[in-house]
Amino acid sequence: MPFRSLETADLAGKRVLVRVDLNVPMADDVITDDTRLRAVLPTIRYLSTKGARTILLAHFDRPKGKRVPAMSLAPIAEPLSALLEQPVLFADDCIGEPAYRVVSKLENGGVALMENLRFHPGEEANDPAFVTELAAFGDLYVNDAFSAAHRAHASTEGLARLLPAYPGLSMQRELEALDAALGNPQRPVMGIVGGAKVSTKLDLLNNLVRKLQYLAIGGGMANTFRFAQGYDIAASLCEKDLADTARQILDSAKAAGCHILLPTDVVVAKDLKPGAATRTVELSQTAGGLEPDDKIFDVGPNSLAQLIDAMSESKTLIWNGPLGVFEVPPFDAATVAAAKHAAKLATAGKLIAVAGGGDTVGALNHAGVAAELTFVSTAGGAFLEWMEGKVLPGVEALQV
């Protein structure tokens, strides 16, 4: 993907509009997790050292085009200033006189944070008039918010069409990691897809079976596939109405040469609770293995061994979703073991391991190995849409 490199830009004295993701969890105006703040520090620091005047654009929550005081970005300015170890000015609006007044005070190397973009309906509508008002304060545009790149909003798509546009350092790192995972990967490529329901990941599965050599399916969604093949899954979570769809995905995988790995043995219990009495059972197409009230909550050791063997043979891994109900031990066993093996291979330089989306980050943190994988995306919806093969407007707009 051809992009301008920020390193080639003449930044000294330039006003640089930077789209960042500051949609952090808050409680009583106090940030409870500053991961997203830390993610934007490299780009802001780079711009400051080059003498740019950095103007941060961001949203918070969903005010739906109206000014909602509880959704102000004002409480973000001080914590961001502390992390940057330099002042961050705050403007009470992202356009008009309040924004102009603050931007005019910026010196070379200075940083300002504009108020919530979504206080204006023109942001989510990608209204050209609103884009023009935002662009009036900038000479260059930088997008460092991959997590918002799947939205064609004024600050993610419109500005990139109006000003010279660059990916930020975090955005560039994410794009390079994703390209290494699915764009131009080292083969064989393996995918792990888990989660509760097939219905939420149809586009994902249909895209991946055309691109992977191995695809391991876990979580509750594996039950739907096994049910479609005639296996007894007892009282386990299952979307029985998607049996035909599951069979179609399996047929597509076979035609594309993608080897699907489904559980052959499972860990069951009567109830989902910590320390529940469990049994490991071989799945069978005849009744007798599972009792009628058994529920599948994790994949078994034989299935895990098969997955780990395939991972060891692969050069690239892309992971979305846990293998079992990892939040409730002992049903975290397979997810933790697989995560640790992926981390071991990645650390040894034998595997490019890219993961992201929803519960995946939580599962990898639970396993204590998130930092050891090649790249872990916190972008959520944008990461999932990229895995589904969809065009991301905020990324497409940066291409030259």
Q: What is the DSSP string of 302-366?
A: HHHHHHHHHHHH-SEEEEES-SS-TTSTTTTHHHHHHHHHHHHHHHTTS-EEEEESTHHHHHHHH
318, β-bridge pairs: 191, 354
**Residue 165: helix, strand or coil by DSSP?**
strand
Residues 6+ apart with CB under 8 A from 226: 233, 262, 263, 283
CA distance 142 to 18: 5
Number of other residues whose CB lies within 10 A of the CB of residue 229: 14
CA distance 11 to 81: 21
Q: Which amino acid is at 95?
A: I
Helix H or strand E segment including 167: strand 165-167
Catalytic residue among 109, 358, 389, 390: 358
Q: What is the dihedral of CA 388, 389, 392, 396, to 10 degrees?
A: 170
The yes-or-no answer on residue 356 being catalytic is no
Spell out a b/e string for 362-372, using b for 16 or more CB atoms within 10 Å of the CB, else e.
ebbebbebbeb
The yes-or-no answer on residue 349 being catalytic is no
CA distance 388 to 37: 27
Catalytic residue among 15, 381, 389, 390: 381
The yes-or-no answer on residue 36 being catalytic is yes
CA distance 190 to 248: 20
Residues 226 and 262: beta-carbon distance below 8 Å: yes
Catalytic residue among 15, 67, 173, 197: 197
The yes-or-no answer on residue 211 being catalytic is no
Q: What is the dihedral of CA 95, 113, 4, 212, to 10 degrees?
A: -110
Pick from 70, 74, 121: which is nearest to 93 by CA?
74
Catalytic residue among 19, 36, 226, 295: 36
Task: Give the catalytic positions in this structure.
Answer: 36, 197, 358, 381
